[in-house]
Amino acid sequence: MTWKERNPEKVKEQKAKWYARYKEINKEKYPRTDAMRFAKQLRKKQRKAQDPIYAMSERLRNRLHIAFKNGGFKKQSRTEKMLGCRFKQFAKHIESQFTAGMSWDNRSEWHLDHIIPLSCATTIEGLEKLSHYTNIRPLWAADNLAKSDNLVLI
């Protein structure tokens, strides 16, 4: 266990002090313009269009962020750690479950479905367990939207 893991409060204090001290200096030194933000968004959008694994990982990160926020929890683990595997392995797992007609090329037509919905979790530990890759499958968008957050085994 590292010092950071043993002393989360001290780490938090140090970060807050550093941020307060260097906030104004960093604003002057590293200005964030709208053009820079737009360029970053454009690069992300292009990468999502070209790299299906990256697109899937971004969607998954976003979905988990929303689930934690809606549950009133703070996400404390990395998405890959909660998945229980690397994103490339996760992509292979999803591919192995493709039904007829599913491919990475038509990924906008299907969703990543949590078999047991994240909304069933009542604790942060439960939410992390439901985020495991074995609880996720590809499902056609219409079927997933009809399923919503109900527990339906298809």
pTM of the model: 0.63
Q: Tell me the pLDDT tens digit for each residue of 15-73.
A: 888 887 777 776 776 666 777 788 888 999 999 999 988 888 888 888 888 888 887 77
pLDDT at site 92: 92
Which band of pLDDT confidence, cut at 50, 70 and 90, is reported for residue 153? low
3-state secondary structure the chain: CCHHHHCHHHHHHHHHHHHHHHHHHHHHHCCCCHHHHHHHHHHHHHHHHHCHHHHHHHHHHHHHHHHHHHHCCCCCCCHHHHHCCCHHHHHHHHHCCCCCCCCHHHHHHEEEEECCCHHHCCCHHHHHHHCCHHHEEEEEHHHHHHHCCCCCCC
pLDDT at 46: 93
Quick: pLDDT tens for 65-106. Answer: 888 888 777 777 788 888 898 888 999 999 999 999 999 989
The distance in angstroms from the start CA to the end CA of the chain is 42
Top pLDDT among 4 and 152 is at 4
C-alpha to C-alpha distance for 11 and 18, rounded to whole angstroms:
11
User: Above 80 in pLDDT, residue 149?
Assistant: no
